């Protein structure tokens, strides 16, 4: 029987801290239920549930636990004047941007029900985006040593990142996830060194295709490809 994943679409213009706290609370509850199940020797109610959240955030820069503040090129005063929030957070990776027109996905899933391998998990998330891009005639690629999805990853001077990724995992339960640039205003990336990677560009589906995308259409494709890659059934709630 396939694992079931509950998809919750949180919509657009949601503040980052609100959704970060929500993920953290859900992860901690799943960890608690998992511990109870281990102690009792039986599966706890709800322990096996998996969640996937879709959201668009209000403008925010987030710096991962291995990131460097020097990759933020804008002063606090300038950033506040532009209405961009900033948080140091507990995912892997460096600095990135979240904002309107970007499809952010947060899987909160128990990898013990799939495969206890973070490398496999990240490559699988990348594959979801690569398959989605292929449906738009774009060749998404991986870049050695750099988590995420790119175009022309091996062409010096033409490398363009379209999807950033960073996760946290506790007791094999995941949180955080990906940020897929769909109709994103790419000017926001000009005030940071995205993911701490020098001299490489950032792009979006809109820029590559020369037109705005229907966000619901993109969400539907990502949902379908998540089901395919992870071999799950997604139920929208």
- Give the whole-angstrom CA distance, residue 129 versus residue 131: 5
Q: How confident is the model at residue 194 (pLDDT cuts 50, 70, 90)?
A: confident
H or E stretch covering 147: strand 146-151
Return the SS3 of 179: strand
157-183 pLDDT per residue, tens: 999 999 999 999 999 999 999 999 999
Residue 196 or residue 76, greater confidence? 76
Our answer to whether residue 163 is catalytic in this structure is no
pLDDT digits (tens, 9 = 90+) for 34-63: 888 877 766 544 545 899 999 999 999 999
- Residue-range domain boundaries for the chain: 3-236
Instruction: Determine the pLDDT at residue 47.
Output: 47
Determine the Cα–Cα distance for residues 220 and 20; give it in Å rounded to an integer.
Answer: 23
Among the listed residues 195, 205, 232, 234, the single catalytic one is: 195
Mean pLDDT of the chain: 93
**How far apart (Å, rounded) are the C-alpha atoms in residues 94 and 166?**
8
Task: Collapse the DSSP code of 102 into the 3-class scheme (helix H, G, I; strand E, B; otherwise coil) and give the result.
Answer: strand
Between 154 and 41, whose confidence is greater? 154
Kindly state the tokens that stand for 70.
């020097």
With CA atoms as reference, report the closest residue to 167 among 232, 86, 106.
Answer: 106
Q: Which has more pLDDT, 21 or 47? A: 21
Q: Which region among 44-48, 60-64, 124-128, 129-133 has the lowest average model confidence (pLDDT)?
A: 44-48
pLDDT (0 to 100) of residue 40: 75
Per CATH, the number for 3-236 is 3.30.930.10
Q: What's the CA gap between 204 and 103, in Å, rounded?
A: 11
Per-residue pLDDT, 83: 96
pLDDT at 14: 97
Per-residue pLDDT band for 228 (boundaries 50, 70, 90) equals very high
Look at residue 43 in the predicted model and tell me its pLDDT: 55
pLDDT score at 207: 98
């Amino acid at each position: 029987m396939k694992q079931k994943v509950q998809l919750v679409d949180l919509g657009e213009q949601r503040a980052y801290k609100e959704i970060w706290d929500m993920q953290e609370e859900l992860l901690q509850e799943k960890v608690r239920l998992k511990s109870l199940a281990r102690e009792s020797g039986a599966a706890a109610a709800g322990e096996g549930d998996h969640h996937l959240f879709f959201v668009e955030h209000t403008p925010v820069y987030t710096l991962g636990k291995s990131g460097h503040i020097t990759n933020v090129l804008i002063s606090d005063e300038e950033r506040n004047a532009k209405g961009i929030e900033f948080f140091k957070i507990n995912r892997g990776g460096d600095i990135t941007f979240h904002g309107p027109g970007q499809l952010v996905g947060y899987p909160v899933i128990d990898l013990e029900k799939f495969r206890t391998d973070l490398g496999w998990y990240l490559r699988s998330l990348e594959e979801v985006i690569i398959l989605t891009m292929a449906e738009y005639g774009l060749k998404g690629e991986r870049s050695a040593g750099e988590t995420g999805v790119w175009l022309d990853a091996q062409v010096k001077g033409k490398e363009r990142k379209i999807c950033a990724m960073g996760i946290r995992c506790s007791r094999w339960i995941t949180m955080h996830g990906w940020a897929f640039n769909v109709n994103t205003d790419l000017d926001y990336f000009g005030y940071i060194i995205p993911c701490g990677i020098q001299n490489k560009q950032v792009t979006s589906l809109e820029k590559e295709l020369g037109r705005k995308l229907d966000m619901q259409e993109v969400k539907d494709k990502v949902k379908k490809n998540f089901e395919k890659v992870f071999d799950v059934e997604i139920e929208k709630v």
